[in-house]
Amino acid sequence: METGREASAAIRIRPLEREDLKFVHGLDNNANVMRYWFEEPYEAFVELQDLYNKHIHDQSERRFIVDHQGQNVGLVELVEIDYIHRRAEFQIIIDPAWQNHGFATAAAKLAMAYAFDALNLYKLYLVVDNENVRAIHVYSKLGFQAEGVLIHEFFANGAYHDATRMCIFQHEYRSLYGSDSGPAAALPGDGPDPVR
């Protein structure tokens, strides 16, 4: 069995492709996953295909499959990319069957490298359910800091939930991770294994 470090070393991110939609559809219809995305676990496959077709050329988002040795284990997204203010929202889902292997941390680092080095963004932010203590721990460990609490921001499972908006800036990222995580480490498709 792989340790978390060995498993995360084999992680790479690559652009979401049409053939990945079945995997994403499974995540989008999993109540345990969608509860933390503040969305109803209900999406028809044709709806997902339509969204993919609509957004395939949208420059305000980048969606990546988290790949572990050829197996789809998650999805990481940079959405609402704003090239004037140089910011984007960060989102990640790791398939519940693949959680607790360090994949979220590894994939997040790759997405952060892509955002800050390849896209030259200044700020990444995210919104996390205050009850999702594990995610908050991972984000804090990665260098994200709380910006504020959003009171009763989302309705899920019959109740309103508070959420925390967290962020990290490019200079903070570079201070934590240096510049050798640069674009070559994050760009999908560079070499046989662009992720270290």
CATH number of the domain at 182, please. 3.40.630.30
Does residue 196 form part of some domain?
no
Q: Among the options 52, 114, 125, 139, which is catalytic?
A: 139
Q: What is the mean pLDDT of residues 129-156?
A: 95
Q: What is the pLDDT of residue 58?
A: 84
% of the chain with per-residue pLDDT over 70: 80
Question: Long-range contacts of range 152-160, CB-CB < 8 Å, 24 or more positions apart?
Answer: 153/38, 153/127, 154/38, 154/129, 155/38, 156/35, 156/38, 156/129, 157/35
C-beta separation of 127 from 165 below 8 A: yes
125 is catalytic: no
- Give the DSSP H/E element, type plus range, for residue 108: helix 103-113
C-beta separation of 148 from 169 below 8 A: no
Q: Does residue 169 surpass a pLDDT of 60?
A: yes
Structural domain count, the chain: 1
Q: Does residue 183 surpass a pLDDT of 60?
A: no
pTM listed for this prediction:
0.83
Domain range enclosing 23: 4-186
Task: Please name the amino acid found at residue 143.
Answer: G
Does residue 192 form part of some domain?
no
Residue, of 183 and 110, whose pLDDT is higher: 110
How far is 76 from 27, CA to CA, in rounded Å? 12
pLDDT, tens digit (0-9, with 9 covering 90-100), for 41-82: 667 778 878 778 788 878 899 999 999 999 999 999 999 999
Does residue 98 form part of some domain?
yes
Does residue 29 form part of some domain?
yes
